[in-house]
Chains A and B, each alone.
Chain A
Amino acid sequence: DARVTQTPRHKVTEMGQEVTMRCQPILGHNTVFWYRQTMMQGLELLAYFRNRAPLDDSGMPKDRFSAEMPDATLATLKIQPSEPRDSAVYFCASAQGGLGREAFFGQGTRLTVV
Chain B
Amino acid sequence: AQSVAQPEDQVNVAEGNPLTVKCTYSVSGNPYLFWYVQYPNRGLQFLLKYITGDNLVKGSYGFEAEFNKSQTSFHLKKPSALVSDSALYFCAVRDFNNDMRFGAGTRLTVKP
B-binding residues in A (CB < 8 A): 4, 31, 33, 35, 42-43, 45, 48, 50, 55-56, 91, 93, 95, 99-100, 102-108
| Interface pair B105/A102, CB less than 8 Å apart | no
Q: Are A56 and B99 in contact (CB under 8 A)?
A: yes
List, in ascending order, chain A residues with CB within 8 A of B98's CB: 31, 48, 50, 55, 99
Within 8 Å of chain A (Cβ to Cβ): is B112? Answer: no
Also in contact, A33 and B100, with CB within 8 A (given A102-B46, A107-B43): yes
Q: Which residues of B contact A107 (CB under 8 A)?
A: 42-43
Least CB distance from A73 to B in Å reads 19
Q: Which residues of A contact B44 (CB under 8 A)?
A: 91, 93, 105
Least distance between A24 CB and chain B CB atoms (Å): 14
Does B94 lie at the interface of the complex (its beta carbon under 8 Å from any beta carbon of A)?
yes
Q: Is the CB of A104 within 8 A of B46?
A: yes
Q: Which residue of chain B is the closest to A102 with respect to CB atoms?
A: B46
> With contacts A42-B104, A48-B98, A56-B97 known, is A100 near B43, CB below 8 A?
no
What are 25 A-to-B residue pairs whose CB atoms are below 8 Å? A4-B43, A33-B99, A35-B102, A42-B102, A42-B104, A42-B105, A43-B90, A43-B105, A45-B100, A45-B101, A93-B100, A95-B100, A99-B32, A99-B94, A99-B95, A99-B96, A99-B98, A100-B32, A100-B51, A100-B94, A102-B49, A103-B100, A105-B36, A105-B45, A108-B43
Bound Cα distance from A56 to B45, whole angstroms: 24
Q: In the complex, what's the smallest C-beta–C-beta distance from A107 to chain B, in angstroms?
A: 5
- In the bound complex, what is the Cα–Cα distance between A91 and B46 (angstroms)? 14
Point out the residues of chain B lying under 8 angstroms from A42, CB to CB. 102-105
Does B63 lie at the interface of the complex (its beta carbon under 8 Å from any beta carbon of A)?
Answer: no
Contacts of B99 in A (CB 8 A): 33, 45, 48, 55-56
A106 touches B43 (CB 8 A): yes
Cβ of B34 < 8 Å from any Cβ of A?
A: yes
8 additional A-B residue pairs with CB within 8 Å, beyond A99-B96, A103-B34: A33-B100, A42-B104, A45-B100, A55-B99, A100-B51, A100-B52, A102-B49, A106-B43
Q: Tell me the bound Cα distance from A104 to B90 in angstroms.
A: 14
